[in-house]
Structures are given as C-alpha cells and as structure tokens.
Amino acid sequence: TAAVPHLVAFVAPWCSHCKKLGPALDAAAAELGDAIHVVKVDATAEADEGSGHSLAARVGVRGYPTLKLFRGGSAYNLAGNKRDRQALVDFATAGVLFTVHQGYAAGEDGTLRLLPKSFPRRVWDLTLEFLNNIAEEVKAVWGEHPLAAVSLFGSGFVIAAFSFFITELISERLGVPRRGESWEDVRAREEWLLHRAESRVKAVKAAAGKKTE
C-alpha cells in the first residue's frame, strides 16, 4: 500500500550499471522484507504508450540507475555512488545522507502520485545533487592523497561544475555518453531507440493497412 515506504530503482534497458545493480537490489529487498517495498521500474517504458513524456522525464530522472525512496509524503534521491546492499538498506531506512527531490500523494487505491515541483525547487535539487557528487569525489581523493586534494580542490571545483552542466547540455546532441554511461551504453541505447522507432513505424503501417481493408 501507499503507506508502506517504497525504494524504487529507475533503470533503462541499455544501462550496464542497472544490470550490475540487480543482485544488490535483490539482497536489499530480502533484508528489508515487507517493511519497505523494493521495486525496479523501466523509466523508459511509458514513452511507448503514447503519453508524450517518458516516466523518467516526469519523475526527474536524468541518469541510470536512479534510486528514489518514497516515504512519509516525500520522494528522496540516493546521494553518492555507493549502491551495494548495505548502502541501499541504509538509504531505505534513512541511515545515510539523502536529498529531498519531490513530494507525492497517496491515493485511496494505494498508488503513489508525484506532485509537480516548482522551478526554485528544481534548481535547488540540481545544486544539491551537484554538491553531493563533488563531496563524494573529494572524499575519495582525500583518503588517498590528502595534500593533492587540498591543492587541487579549488581548480577541481570549477572544472567539475563546468563539466557537469556542459555534459548535461550537449551529451544528447553530440551522441557522447551521459554522466555515468559508457560508450557501450551509448551504442546500446541508440540501438534500442532505433528498434523502438522501427517498431512504431511497423505498427502505424499495420494500423493503416487494416483501415484500408
């Protein structure tokens, strides 16, 4: 039911990271049991149903996999890059850092309906996500090379900020990997999109043929 918290993994058919997430997600689901429902959703699926917008676009998913916790009327995004079983369980039980991304309303039939976000909320979420990503990178470098981390932090912050926004803006146009994607993911995604387009053309032709009969 909607009263039970939901840990949702939004994935895509071409995403190699999503496939690697599977075992950790299954292990987390087994540990959490009925206290928190764990669900994996193909965020591209609803684009095939003629809605005009994919589920990913409506939920605010910009990369795969994206993990969200729906709990107490708010939807939270997992911060950082750790996605092992323990990280997922900690996130689901609010034991680690998370960020509020969106509110939702519970319907009488037990469904969860996301509420629209205001423009300031979206800007704040992007800023918070960016800062969380930077913090993860700095923490990793600090542990291995503390002196280098101090000297490079200033320039690294500027470069990371530039890379973050530029990647989001031009990756789709230039056909280069999105954040977190490999070239193999890009090729797989392009093949999937081509296959989907061909399937739609065939469906339209088939429908037109039936009308002329």
- Mean pLDDT score, 119-135: 75
- Owner of token pair 């530029």: 166
140 confidence band (pLDDT: 50, 70, 90): confident
In terms of C-beta density within 10 A (0-12 exposed, 13-18 middle, 19 or more buried), how is residue 212 classed?
exposed
Q: What local confidence, expressed as pLDDT, does residue 27 receive?
A: 94
Q: What local confidence, expressed as pLDDT, does residue 111 receive?
A: 52
Look at 32-41, 46-55, 77-86 and tell me which has the smallest mean pLDDT.
Answer: 46-55
- Supply the mean pLDDT for the chain: 75
Q: What is the DSSP letter of 35?
A: S
Best-predicted range by mean pLDDT among 91-95, 109-113, 173-177, 193-197? 193-197
55 confidence band (pLDDT: 50, 70, 90): low
DSSP 18-85: HHHHHHHHHHHHHHHTTSSEEEEEETTGGGGGT-SS-HHHHHT--SSSEEEEEETTEEEEEPSS--SH
Q: What local confidence, expressed as pLDDT, does residue 72 receive?
A: 76
Q: What local confidence, expressed as pLDDT, does residue 211 receive?
A: 66
pLDDT in tens, 95-121: 555 555 556 565 555 555 556 667 776
pLDDT in tens, 56-78: 676 677 788 888 888 877 778 88
User: For residue 187, is pLDDT > 90?
Assistant: no
212 or 63: whose pLDDT is higher? Answer: 63
